Chains A and B, each alone.
Chain A
């Protein structure tokens, strides 16, 4: 096994550092420690053998599969000493979230937005006393009102409802545990420590109790033309949820799915909604639920497979896409997640029948099919989410 001689070492080091710099320029984060590892590795392989050097560099510098093809290209260029131009055009870093084009997107009415956002924000700042069940369980006429016609007070209530909903989400029992006075499983460690300090006679046992964990929530909101009356309001909910639950993902769809989690990071509801509407393609246009679900399943695949993911689809189910794709994708989604919910604003109408194709196809796969046209119905959603605990 040839160890580079003293004379070679500086140039080897030089090469390694240059390769690291080139990878970094192309979006593959390489840190100095990895480069040191590569230097150590190159002392062990036949460093004139291109493939072995490549394997060593790949093993030490690459940390994910997505980087592999880019790495191979950069390595080849580096090894052969070709000019740098071809590698600049595309890296995996280049094609991130901003997939959609603004296209024919239609920004929500600015005056309405102002009213909505002021209401939501002021109540958020006020740090309202958290509402008990009674605060919204009384059969208030307002809560039955259709969300299409909202006033400021109702929005405040909506915000409070939301707080209860989020609280429910936060208090799910997790798989890790903490010590407690009651429980099913004896906590030997804690009991023993108490015994040491207080004596073992009449020892009071400690128990293990599940520590609250977080539910992973993913929301997919329909912003096509038929949903226009509701989608803006539902997005407000998504925004507010996002503010309190860092582990939430959101996307909108019409004919294509657009992730909006990053857009919702903007400060203020209004900026967020503007950002969302300029990102989402086909805002207010037609609907292709199957295609959108396909993209959603693909994009969020890994997160969906994490245990106890809850997916909430907000849509009226009007669909002009391929029915087969839709059925296949909703079935695929169901397999991956803990709970699948569909909130439908039209379900509030007394004479509603789930006749439109999208809903008929989806129904067998849903855990819950719920109305989302009024505050009362959203309150029911909050109660249901609490029951998941």
Chain B
């Protein structure tokens, strides 16, 4: 199944794979797959931007092609490269075969010697399949790389000087993610459907934990999520994302904890806070009360629901 037929279907099929999303994001995904426009997902780290691409590939039964961005990423690494050792060998062979000097190296820049890098690879997936192309953390790349992306993402084609222009027969589903360490140029964003992914609300987060951590007790999941919501309200340098919630829930499950308590929370804070300063400032906060409140509010919720 290469496409969705309705927004409801997006929500349904993604949640079957453990990815819960609200209708607004589902609409973006739906439009993106039908209009062949990339999605540009922004949000704090750990809210599930990369995960969306992975799950999409799974749902669409499509190959996932991932391009991790970094400063200095260039066309040779992202688009294509020539296979020089093979070309070299080819020339030697032709020489040995006694090919005339002016004909040596004639077919050197043909597809035979082309090495596909992620972007090209995603464009050349054989139809009817279409790839899911994840361009991860595009804010880590530099302006020069954004320019490369413009051509690829607007026309789904790549120009190779020696070969001509290669066009995708079936445009890939493209997911760009950014943590906003740098502002991405508007020209690139305009070619995309923009979506800001926020931290989930308490209900959605509980749903995510239950979906992603099989075997977890519902009461514990609720306590965990209530505690996380409290933690995100505190003044911290880096707030924990949903990925951290899931990690923590897994850790607690592995420890065999039935109910959140102060000691275990303190011992496992490393799952949630990754900065020494944040751990220190948490020491100054009222952790026991927070844990108790998380327990109380999830009990209240359990009674009500």
Contact = CB atoms under 8 A, between A and B. Distances in A.
Interface of A: 1, 29, 31, 33-34, 37, 40-41, 44-45, 51-52, 54-56, 58-60, 62-65, 68, 174-176, 188-189, 191-192, 195-196, 200, 302-303, 305-307, 328, 331-332, 335
A31 B190 contact: yes
A33 B24 contact: no
Given A40-B35, A189-B84, A200-B88, A55 B24 contact: yes
B193 A188 contact: no
21 contacts: A34-B190, A44-B31, A51-B24, A52-B23, A55-B24, A55-B27, A58-B194, A59-B32, A59-B193, A60-B31, A62-B194, A63-B189, A63-B190, A63-B194, A176-B144, A188-B82, A189-B82, A192-B82, A302-B182, A302-B183, A335-B237
Contact of A37 (B28, B37, B88, B142): B37
B231 interface: no
Contacts, number: 98
A45 B27 contact: yes
B68 interface: no
B270 interface: no
Given A45-B7, A175-B71, A175-B72, A64 B189 contact: yes
B181 A302 contact: yes
Contacts of A176: 72, 74, 142, 144
B30 A44 contact: yes
Contacts of B105: 196
Contacts of A1: 5-6
B23 A51 contact: yes
Contact of B182 (A33, A68, A200, A306): A306
Q: Which of A37, A189, A191 has the most CB of B within 10 A?
A: A37
Given A29-B186, A59-B32, 8 more contacts: A34-B190, A44-B34, A52-B7, A55-B23, A56-B27, A56-B31, A63-B186, A196-B105
A65 B88 contact: no
Interface residues of B, number: 42
A354 B5 CA distance: 69
A52 B196 contact: no
A323 to B, nearest CB: 16
A41 B31 contact: yes
A37 B42 CA distance: 20
B288 interface: no
B66 interface: no
B84 A188 contact: yes
Given A37-B37, A196-B105, A60 B6 contact: no
Nearest to A201: B95
Contact of B31 (A59, A302, A331): A59
B28 A55 contact: yes
B27 A52 contact: yes
A51 B24 CA distance: 8
A175 B72 CA distance: 5
Contacts of A196: 105, 108
A195 B108 CA distance: 13
B167 to A, nearest CB: 20
Contacts of B268: none
B88 A59 contact: no
B31 A306 contact: no
Contacts of B27: 45, 52, 55-56, 59
A255 B304 CA distance: 51
Given A55-B24, A59-B193, A175-B71, A45 B31 contact: yes
